[in-house]
């Protein structure tokens, strides 16, 4: 079942159960349900509460296990929201979960992968991206009836819940005429990837750093899934606007530092409107990046 459908759990619901299990695992299905979805909240509901959908989604993602007695437990330690977000991206972008993107883009979480890939192909410095622009950019790619994963008016708001939880976008700070528009800002995801990569305190080749980030976030232009969907690959030595925005924010906020060494074997060109054709050979990932 496609993750953006209305009967699937929202990421905030997933985090609520993960947070509960982080403090009190293992819990039986009924114990967790009583704490997260008490009967008083479900009196008027004719269908099952969102609780079972939350459990099902977390089990499907491999983040929660349920034994024969019904007890729920975490497969990984996720004590903080950041650690949960990192594990959630890893699960969603796992290769085994993203086969046949081109021919079967709406099974499992593939709809999320496809829509994220098109969404992140936009420039964060342009106007926030509405649903219609994502539809236009992906038009013609999925011509089989019922196979177009781009969100409808019903599914786009759900995408709006997933994007910030994945650290790949945000609602604009200033409201626009299109209240559902989103900004493709992957800064949080980039910072979390670098935090877990043990690069803090090291100066690394900009080419290698960009490659590492694209491997961890394959929905970025130049990443494996984006390229498979026919989105233009900027190549090893050009950084797309979405990733450039995150790297520039890292410099501005002080957890990254760009270097340009004359004897460096290679450089990358960062999309910087204040400094066109800005070339960077190495990047220092500062200590305290996870602060």
pLDDT digits (tens, 9 = 90+) for 90-103: 999 999 999 988 77
Mean per-residue pLDDT, 30-57: 73
Residue 230, phi-psi category: left (phi > 0), alpha (psi -120 to 50), beta (remainder): left
| Residue 114 pLDDT class (50, 70, 90 cuts) | very high
Q: How far apart are CA 47 and CA 67, in angstroms?
A: 25
pLDDT at 26 over 90: no
For the segment(s) 11-78, the CATH number from 3.40.50.970, 1.10.10.10, 3.40.1190.20, 3.65.10.10 is 1.10.10.10
pLDDT for residue 48: 55
Q: Which of 34-38, 76-80, 267-271 has the lowest mean pLDDT?
A: 34-38
Kindly give, in sequence order, each residue whose CB lies less than 8 Å from that of residue 143, ignoring residues fewer than 6 positions away.
Answer: none
Mean per-residue pLDDT, 35-54: 66
pLDDT at 143 over 60: no
pLDDT for residue 175: 64
pLDDT at 264 over 90: no
pLDDT digits (tens, 9 = 90+) for 187-215: 999 999 999 888 888 999 999 999 999 99
Nearest CA to 185 out of 196, 174, 200, 169 is that of: 169
pLDDT at 57 over 60: yes
The answer to whether 222 touches 240, Cβ cutoff 8 Å, is yes
Mean per-residue pLDDT, 163-183: 84
Mean per-residue pLDDT, 132-155: 75
SS3 76: coil
Mean per-residue pLDDT, 221-228: 96
pLDDT at 68 over 70: yes
pLDDT for residue 29: 83
pLDDT for residue 43: 46
Q: How far apart are CA 203 and CA 259, in angstroms?
A: 9
Percent of the chain with pLDDT over 90: 60
Mean pLDDT rounded to a whole number for the chain = 88
Q: How far apart are CA 62 and CA 135, in angstroms?
A: 30
pLDDT at 169 over 60: yes
> Could you tell me the residue ranges of all domains in the chain?
11-78, 83-165, 187-285
pLDDT at 105 over 70: yes
* pTM for the full predicted model: 0.91
């Amino acid at each position: 079942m496609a993750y953006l459908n209305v009967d699937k759990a929202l990421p905030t619901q997933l985090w609520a159960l993960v947070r509960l299990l982080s403090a009190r695992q293992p819990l039986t299905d009924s114990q967790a349900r009583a704490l997260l979805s008490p009967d008083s909240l479900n009196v008027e509901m004719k269908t099952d509460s969102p609780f079972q959908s939350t459990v099902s989604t977390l089990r499907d993602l491999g983040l929660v296990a349920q034994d024969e007695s019904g007890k729920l437990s975490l497969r990984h330690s996720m004590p903080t929201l950041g650690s949960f977000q990192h594990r959630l991206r890893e699960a969603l972008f796992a290769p085994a979960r993203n086969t046949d993107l081109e021919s079967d883009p709406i099974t499992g979480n593939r709809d999320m992968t496809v829509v994220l890939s098109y969404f992140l192909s936009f420039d964060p410095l342009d106007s926030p991206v509405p649903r219609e622009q994502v539809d236009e950019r992906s038009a013609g790619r999925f011509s089989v009836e019922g196979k177009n994963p781009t969100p409808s008016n019903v599914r786009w708001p759900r995408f709006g819940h997933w994007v910030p939880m994945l650290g790949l976008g945000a609602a604009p700070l200033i409201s626009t005429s299109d209240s559902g528009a989103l900004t493709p800002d992957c800064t949080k995801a980039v910072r979390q990837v670098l935090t877990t990569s043990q690069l803090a305190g090291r100066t690394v080749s900009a080419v290698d750093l960009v490659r590492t980030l694209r491997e961890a976030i394959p929905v970025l232009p130049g990443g494996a899934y984006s390229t498979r969907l026919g989105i233009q690959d900027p190549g090893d030595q050009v950084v797309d606007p979405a990733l450039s925005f995150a790297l520039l924010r890292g410099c501005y906020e002080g957890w990254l530092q760009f270097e340009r060494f004359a004897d460096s074997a290679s450089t990358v060109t960062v999309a910087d409107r204040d400094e066109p054709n800005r070339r960077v050979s190495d990047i220092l990932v500062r200590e305290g990046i996870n602060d």
